[in-house]
Amino acid sequence: MTVRFTFHCPEAQGPDADSLDAGSLLEIATAAERVGFDGISLSEHPAPGARWLSAGGHQTLDPLVTLGYIAGATHRIRLITNLVVAPYRNPFLLAKASATVDRLSGGRLTLGLGTGYQKTEFYALGVDMEERNHLFDEALDVLPMHWRGEPFSYAGRHFDAREVIARPRPVQNPIPIWIGGNSKLSRRRIAERGQGWMPMSGPAELSATTRTPPLASLPELADMIAELRDAAAARGRSDLIDVTYSYPDRSIASPSQEADRHREALADIERVGVTWVIISSGTQEATRTLDFLEEFGATYLA
């Protein structure tokens, strides 16, 4: 099996929950690296609404700050944002933070980006949700120019950069950008200038909450992957576009149970064109998460 695995850090759910204690985070990250995971990821919710939290939403650590923290204790594992909401941030600050993590980690950052969906957070951050697609495209323009470390100018909707130079350059040229969402617009962006796609699979209710078209089956995903890669090839691209998939069967959290069935399911996922499978332990309890990592590594990654 050539598909790679990302461990998604546990998220604290509910209005009274707190984020994962940072004291155990380095243990989890180093364990994930040691047992064979190829990536570790975090999501972003800087100001989640109480109503959403009460309905099953979650708290998060700041992903770029946390991945910078993890970088100092790891050596190989990819550091992945799954995902940063680009319209929440000035693109120059996003570019600087990303370049910093990439430089400090020796070139291990993968920047997963999304347009966002929570009205409460847009209001709290003073960002017009109706502008999110325009702001997202501005970020896609600015990020590679910023990372080149050469003078450039760019007039955006809320800024006017005139002959700026941003250093240090990241190690990677460029930092890979994976784009989230199931819409045709998201896939067009990826075909034009993204290095990866982070689709969101799940029931229609989830798609309605996250404001993206539903994606319910592997055959449907296979068709969309083929269409995406054909569109990229039509633009003269020959590089492989990565595709992630969040493994939906939480019984894999007990890896010794029905391991053959899970291996068959993972093989099916790889056959449709997925290159990275996202795994979560389904618990915020550090000891259980560490136990899960050890058993998953021995069962599937050895």
For residue 207, the model assigns a pLDDT of 57
Whole-angstrom Cα distance, residue 83 to residue 112? Answer: 5
Per the prediction, the chain carries an average pLDDT of 93
Other Cβ atoms closer than 10 A to 102: 27
Q: Give residue limits of the domains in the chain.
A: 4-301
For residue 38, the model assigns a pLDDT of 98
Q: Which residues of 209-221 are buried (b: 16+ CB within 10 A; e: fewer)?
A: bbebebbeebeeb
For residue 216, the model assigns a pLDDT of 81
Q: Which residues pair with 118 in a beta bridge?
A: none
For residue 231, the model assigns a pLDDT of 97
Residue numbers in the chain where pLDDT is lower than 70: 1, 19-22, 202-211, 255-256
pLDDT single digits (tens) 6-48: 999 988 777 777 766 667 899 999 999 999 999 999 999 999 9
For residue 124, the model assigns a pLDDT of 98
Whole-angstrom Cα distance, residue 232 to residue 230? Answer: 5
Identify the CATH homologous superfamily for domain 4-301. Answer: Luciferase-like domain (3.20.20.30)
For residue 225, the model assigns a pLDDT of 97
For residue 139, the model assigns a pLDDT of 98
Name the residue among 41, 53, 49, 47 with its Cα closest to residue 17. Answer: 53
For residue 170, the model assigns a pLDDT of 98
Query: DSSP letter string over 165-210?
Result: ---SPPSSSS--EEEE--SHHHHHHHHHH-SEEE---B-HHHHHHH
For residue 202, the model assigns a pLDDT of 65
For residue 144, the model assigns a pLDDT of 98
